[in-house]
Chain A
Amino acid sequence: GNSVTQMEGPVTLSEEAFLTINCTYTATGYPSLFWYVQYPGEGLQLLLKATKADDKGSNKGFEATYRKETTSFHLEKGSVQVSDSAVYFCALSVGSGNTGKLIFGQGTTLQVKP
């Protein structure tokens, strides 16, 4: 079946540190991959996406590369800020017919300290 596994949290970093949140997936077919971010008390916001192998998604200093050979889509940022503190979800979407449902990992909490 289709599934997403993320690294366990919480991840605690100092401001300006380098961030990596690991994400691996299992999928039949050729999924699209996404990172969503959820701030406390809010819904999910799309952070970035990649739709085919070797694509790199990027937004607001965050990047992730779709690696088919390692079935991974790790999230990285060169210098985190306190405002990046949130829960990050990796997700995949595979179409069955024309249905694109999202399958999420369990989420990784990021805490950035000043």
Chain B
Amino acid sequence: ETGVTQSPTHLIKTRGQQVTLRCSSQSGHNTVSWYQQALGQGPQFIFQYYREEENGRGNFPPRFSGLQFPNYSSELNVNALELDDSALYLCASSLISGANYEQYFGPGTRLTVT
């Protein structure tokens, strides 16, 4: 157990809808990163939040957005859902931002878009 929690566990949405996924970071961690893992693939970096500011973004369109709150929990919002957005969404927290610091993953939210 890493202490990182995500909700909901599973979600089914229709194309064009909007979705919000939530993540609570491990106690004491101020950095949260979000990843998308398509079936049979490695996770792809979406973005990172450090002390409530976006701190790096991967190759994802603007309809993927996020927030980090003062308690360092985070949300991932996806607008105008597409079928290809179906994936496992993982959040990871780390003690501090930086390449040397290990990231601890939550169990993920499985999103299915129909």
Residues of A within 8 A of B (CB): 4, 31-32, 34, 36, 42-46, 49, 51, 89, 91, 93-107
Please provide the chain B residues from 20 to 61 with a CB less than 8 Å away from any CB of chain A in the complex: 33, 35, 40-45, 48, 50, 55-56, 58
Contacts of A97 in B (CB 8 A): 55-56
Number of B positions contacting A (CB below 8 A): 31
Chain A facing B: main interface SS? strand
Nearest B-chain residue to A101, judged by Cβ: B45
The CB with the most chain B CB atoms within 10 A, among A31, A36, A91, A102, is that of: A102
Q: 10 shortest A-B CB distances, which residue pairs?
A: A104-B42, A99-B56, A95-B99, A100-B99, A43-B105, A44-B105, A93-B99, A101-B45, A43-B107, A98-B97
Q: Are B98 and A95 in contact (CB under 8 A)?
A: yes
Chain B residues with CB under 8 Å of chain A are 2, 4, 6, 33, 35, 40-45, 48, 50, 55-56, 58, 90, 92, 94, 97-108
Contacts of B43 in A (CB 8 A): 44, 89, 102, 104
The reply to whether B90 and A44 contact each other, CB–CB distance below 8 Å, is yes
The B contact surface, by secondary structure, is loop
B102 to chain A, nearest CB (A): 5
Which residues of chain B are near A96, meaning CB under 8 Å? 56
Contact B90 A101 (CB under 8 A): no
Alpha-carbon distance between A4 and B45 when the two chains are bound, in angstroms: 14
Contact between B105 and A100, CB atoms less than 8 A apart: no
A107 CA to B41 CA, complexed, in Å = 7
Q: Which residue of B lies closest to A36 (CB)?
A: B105
Are B100 and A100 in touch, CB under 8 angstroms?
yes
* Interface pairs (10), CB distance under 8 Å: A34-B102, A36-B105, A44-B105, A89-B43, A95-B100, A97-B55, A100-B101, A101-B56, A101-B58, A104-B42
